[in-house]
Structure 1
Amino acid sequence: MAAVKPSVATDPETLPADGVFADLIGQREAVRVLRAAAASAARVVAGTAESAGAMTHSWIFTGPPGSGRSVAARAFAAALQCDRDGIGCGVCHGCHTVLGGTHADVRFVVPEGLSISVGEMRALVLRAGTAPSNGRWQVVVISDADRLTEAAGNALLKAIEEPPPRTVFLLCAPSTHPDDISVTIRSRCRVVPLVQPSADAVAQVLMTRDGVAPDMAAWAASAAQGHVGRAKRLAGDPQARGRRDAVLAVPRRLTGVGACYDAASALIEAAEAEAVASVADSDAAERAALEQALGAGGTGRGAASAMRGAAGQIKELERRQRSRATRAQRDALDRALVDLAAFYRDVLVTTLRAPVRVVHADSAETSGAAAGRWAPESTLRRLEAVLRCRDEIDQNVKPRIAVEAMMLALWRG
């Protein structure tokens, strides 16, 4: 095993207040737990503690979308590799390389398609069993661990049950429900629950970190429902705001059966267009890089036959890209459904005069008018129809079928 790097002298006045955890918004308790674990891990590396104490080899980060599951996992990985005895300073070489995704001992698994295959997981577990090159920790960060296939979950379980002494697994999932993560994996991991950040906290981040104007920051934070990434997109992307406006116009468009099918088609097509735009650049770059590696454009002897023999690799790339596009489309559609569900939630809030703020303040007039026309039971049925559509798509029902059924339910009330 490589020698441990010596600690770097720490001057508190020269370090950021939150270090690697600065982007983890509204998660004070989680940060406290992770800092304590990183400090305990540093003592193990230094040989001053016989056991890890607050540290363990397997972690699950749970929380609603936008709460920062992957941010927390990445920050914790950086703290484990921090050159300043695990304090997660954010300025040392270890922290910088982890946060930048280039650290030799930290691997990030981000599923591009609908699932993480057993082949991917077996290869990852095999590499994770090696000794860390810097003498600290070998860290595996699995985003969207709820997309593990059953076989991939079993492969991971074997590694978690008997982990190498310096390997840490960090899993991110919406919850610890068996639909998201297997009971056996859950039982061997320490859970770090994250909460939805408040709109005020998100708005403050947009203003201080991204330079967003106060009014726009407050609006975007409320409309994004605590999702920091989406709030940033809404604040800075007019097209994202336009797509949201189109979704919130759906309830007014549902005047008959034909209008329901038209609205469903418009929603599906908008999600497809957003997905194509989001992956177009990466798809083109991947294909160009592969063709170059295979000798495309070459004029030497055997160049043409080499490209013909590479047809299988190109087809495999196209398959992965189609899978990624499908995932991107479903993610875009799900964001639209979340906005639509929030509209019906606002109608209920207005009807019942609940002492909470509406999510879509700029559509308060529309939701208020709907509250005057619909009975609470009818609004609740509409809200349930949107949530049911999300569940059906998550269970691989064809999106168009699920959305058309939802639109008809919304029209009927």
Structure 2
Amino acid sequence: MSVWDDIVGQHRVVDQLRTVASCDPQSIAQSWLICGPPGSGRSNVARAFAAALESPDHGLGDEPTKTTMNVLSGSHPDVSVLATNKVTIGIDEVRELINLSEQMPSTAPWRIIIIEDVDRMLERTTNVLLKEIEEPSEHTIWLLCAPSAQDVLPTIRSRTRIVNLAVPSTKAVAEFLESNTGVEHKIAIRAARLSEGHIGVARLYATDEQVMSDRDELIVGVLNLRRASDAIVLASRLIDSAQDQAMEDATREADKAKEDFLRINGLSPSDRIPPKLRSAFNALTKKEELRRKATRRSRDVLDRALNSIASIYRDVAVLQNNAEDSVGMINLENRSAITELSVQLDRQGAVRRLEDVATARRRLAGNVNPALVFEALFCALLV
């Protein structure tokens, strides 16, 4: 298994970074900006690149080294990852990373710092980071991740080497699902198509029947919108489903964190937590932390719902412009109803509804009540 095996549909980028990792260390750029749309795997690319940079075989071997496995599992002492469930990345978090970046690596050639979603930094936070990106410590490499270079301030953009990821093809995502989840070909193809190249969503669709069923119900619900009462009922059903999914995800993650904590500290589930570890363990089980994670997961579910809704009107536009042969349809299972909708709407109507979805996304990002956002959206989509 190569360090790059889990990178889907990014052959050009993998070739580029594989070459860089095996170069003379003196010639390696120390500040990188890895850009790609949601689901393209930018964080995975950053981790794989970090593993290749730290590994004695530079990630060229067919079998992972111990260093590689530690980096990819998040347990390497010289590779730090800043990920956040919050709307913005805090200035104190960045200052801590800067202090860490000044330290020499303990076992590997580099101290590598990965910042996911660097676009979530406010300008004053970015300014704190700027000097380190411009003049990194001698043994430090910064790997920043963002949806696109345009989402990052020009001062950061101009001081990094930019790597742009492509949207993985349906075929590449389906092959990844088959080899990594063991699902049958038919399920993998459908999950890959409905995910529109988003690897994480594709895995979710392929492995969770309830999530796939919820999507199917949402598409049918939108296509059957006729009255304002339909819009209100559908919005309520969607919000309830999102909250249920989010709480399940957050609980599952908390349980996994507890299991990892016990394993790392050599404890069994029945063991009493030693007093010196109790505060750290209790922090994993706080109800407010669980609620915070569930709120964030709920927003992720609703964002995924917006993508699904937008795919309906994308398909309508494809049919209206006779473009199915060149770009294909996403919602093939609903082709008949979407064909009927493409006749009912003119081209301007289809575009306007895509704009309505974009407006709903902005309102969600602005912390408007989700129920109101979707009630307004579904009313706007009425034919």
Q: TM-score, normalised by structure 2?
A: 0.88
The verdict on how the C-alpha distance between 1:318 and 1:128 changes in structure 2, with shifts beyond 3 A counting, is farther
Q: 2:353 is matched with which residue?
A: 382
Q: 2:148 is matched with which residue?
A: 175
Distance in 2, matches of 1:322 and 1:149, equals 25
Partner letter of residue 102 of structure 1?
A: S
Q: 2:268 is matched with which residue?
A: none
Other structure's SS at 1:21 match: coil
Instruction: State the Cα distance separating 1:140 from its structure 2 match.
Output: 0.8
Partner letter of residue 111 of structure 2?
A: Q
Q: 1:371 is matched with which residue?
A: 342
Q: Number of residue pairs matched?
A: 372
Choose which of 59, 63, 66 in structure 1 pairs with 2:32.
Answer: 59
CA contact (8 A) 1:62 1:192 kept: yes
Instruction: State the Cα distance separating 1:92 from its structure 2 match.
Output: 1.1
- Give matches, 1:305-316, under 5 Å: none
Instruction: State the Cα distance separating 1:287 from its structure 2 match.
Output: 8.3
- 1:243 and 2:226 correspond: no
Q: Which runs of 5+ in 2 are unaligned?
A: 266-270
Q: 2:168 is matched with which residue?
A: 197
Deviation per CA, 1:177-216: give whole Å up to 9, x if none.
2xx3222111111111001011111112222333221222
Distance in 2, matches of 1:286 and 1:155, equals 31
Q: Which runs of 5+ in 1 are unaligned?
A: 1-15, 45-50
Partner letter of residue 143 of structure 2?
A: L
Distance in 2, matches of 1:124 and 1:318, equals 28
Instruction: State the Cα distance separating 1:75 from its structure 2 match.
Output: 0.4
CA contact (8 A) 2:35 2:42 kept: yes
Other structure's SS at 2:22 match: helix
Distance in 2, matches of 1:107 and 1:28, equals 26
Partner letter of residue 397 of structure 1?
A: V
Instruction: State the Cα distance separating 1:395 from its structure 2 match.
Output: 3.5
Other structure's SS at 1:20 match: coil
Structure with larger Rg: 1
Q: 1:76 is matched with which residue?
A: 49
Q: 1:333 is matched with which residue?
A: 302
The verdict on how the C-alpha distance between 1:23 and 1:353 changes in structure 2, with shifts beyond 3 A counting, is same
- 1:164 and 2:137 correspond: yes
Deviation per CA, 1:267-294: give whole Å up to 9, x if none.
222111111111013346768979x9xx
Other structure's SS at 1:353 match: coil
The verdict on how the C-alpha distance between 1:285 and 1:30 changes in structure 2, with shifts beyond 3 A counting, is closer
Distance in 2, matches of 1:216 and 1:360, equals 14
Q: 2:72 is matched with which residue?
A: 99
Distance in 2, matches of 1:276 and 1:147, equals 24
Q: 1:38 is matched with which residue?
A: 21
CA contact (8 A) 1:38 1:87 kept: no
Other structure's SS at 2:328 match: coil
Distance in 2, matches of 1:314 and 1:218, equals 41
Distance in 1, matches of 2:224 and 2:247, equals 26
Partner letter of residue 114 of structure 1?
A: V
Deviation per CA, 1:62-98: give whole Å up to 9, x if none.
1111111011001000000111145365511111111
CA RMSD of aligned residues (A): 2.9
Q: 1:122 is matched with which residue?
A: 95
- 1:410 and 2:381 correspond: yes
- 1:110 and 2:86 correspond: no
CA contact (8 A) 1:113 1:326 kept: no
Distance in 2, matches of 1:204 and 1:314, equals 39
CA contact (8 A) 1:341 1:383 kept: yes
Q: Percent identity at matched positions?
A: 35
Partner letter of residue 362 of structure 2?
A: D
Instruction: State the Cα distance separating 1:27 from its structure 2 match.
Output: 0.9
